Amino acid sequence: MALSRNVHITGWGSYAPPRVVTNEELARIVPTTDAWIRERTGIEERRIADDHDFTSTMATRAGRRALRVAGLDPGRLDLVIVASLTPDYLMPNTASLVQDALGASHAAAFDLNAACSGFIVGIAVASGLIRSGVYDSVLVVGSESLSRVTNWTDRGTCVLFGDGAGAVVLQASDQPGGVLTTAMGSDGSGGDLLSVHLGTRIPVYSQALSAGENYIKMNGPEVFRFATRIMSQAARQVVEAAGLTMADIDLIVPHQANNRILQVAAKQLSFPQERIYSNLARYGNTSSASVPLALVDAINDGRLRAGDRMVMVGFGGGLTWAACLVEWSYSPEDRQWSRWHRSVQWSRYRLAGAKSWLNRADRWLASMEDRLRRRDHERANDAAGSRKRKLPWSARR
């Protein structure tokens, strides 16, 4: 396949848990106030997953909505990437759970952990695979259940984080535009500044849990200094790589961490604050889900039109950073499908889900056949052994 083909975002979707936790509610459990949180972060409320919402289920809902906007049958997906620092399990990977739940039976699937930069790193990886001709259609999801690794007695972190998921469909196209440039970076020397320490170095055991190793730990001032420096640097990098200037950019959709970071970045870039999109007040910091959540809200708010140039930029634990420049191809009304088309899509999703059930049933039947075969074999061996024991000694030789 040609190496010059373009990569377009053809579908988008998000999911936020219905439970809203306001600053006033947090003020009842930690020494803080609504005014203190708003002034220092810009956050007013955040969404918290209930007992039935997990990283995989939120990712599935966001992914399904993105596929619906793209008008794409899940059976045509080639790859599912889930960016998350809060996977359902260490194994199986969350992307495989999402792939199965969507009915994307022909898709490969893997997880990606670059913390808050993860979604944009996923776009960079998917774009490279599509541009090189390896795949045609990729679903990239950012999904987080940060409430489950948050210490709700630590005022310095519990006021910041929330849960949610966002997703985009990337597809090959011969039309100009789409994902123009991407950039990624890392500085592992700052890995201890933002971390959750549970893993093979610090396994899950009672002492680790009592020491709070399962919670997010953050050196706020150092992370702030890193973020304000790297956000403007990464944004400039992808813009200059495309031969453009910041004056050519219509919108920046950044990682939603702190309003003060966005204000500093606007000054460093000499970029109008009103053209840096923020939904931080509604969701808080949702790590890898924050950029896609903001992207979907920006589209729904009419902030992106066909032909606009947009920069998405993220930074986070690792320390990591990533950015991409996109020439937007669609207006929301371009993705409004007829009732007949939506009905066909609904039927396809149902059939895809049924195929997953059939795969499980087929595996169960194969397992039962193996068990029956082994039982019959054991019975035959037992019967042969019993006959041999009944024979006279001379006949056994």
**Residue 53: phi, psi to the nearest 5?**
-105, 130
Facing residues of 163 across strands? 145
pLDDT, mean of residues 2-27: 91
DSSP 200: S
Q: Is 325 helix (H, G, I), strand (E, B) or coil?
A: strand
Please, which residues have CB within 8 angstroms of residue 270's CB and are 6 or more apart in sequence?
A: 246
User: Could you tell me which of 165, 116, 168, 117 has the C-alpha nearest to residue 143?
Assistant: 165
Contact 42, 280 (CB under 8 A): yes
pLDDT for 242-286, tens place per residue?
Answer: 999 999 999 999 999 999 999 999 999 999 999 999 999 999 999
Q: Is 368 helix (H, G, I), strand (E, B) or coil?
A: helix
Q: Which residues are catalytic?
A: 116, 255, 285
Query: pLDDT digits over 336-371, tens only?
Result: 656 666 666 666 666 766 766 677 777 777 777 777
Instruction: Out of 3.40.50.300, 3.40.640.10, 3.40.47.10, 3.30.470.10, select the CATH number for domain 6-336.
Output: 3.40.47.10
| Residue among 68, 80, 155 nearest 111 (CA) | 80
What are the domain boundaries of the chain?
Answer: 6-336, 340-396
How does pLDDT run across 112-148, given as a tens digit for each residue? Answer: 999 999 999 999 999 999 999 999 999 999 999 999 9
8 Å CB contact between 110 and 95:
yes
pLDDT (mean) for 31-44:
95
Q: How confident is the model at residue 46 (pLDDT cuts 50, 70, 90)?
A: very high
Q: Sheet containing 6-15: give its strands across.
A: 6-15, 163-173, 137-145, 79-83, 108-112
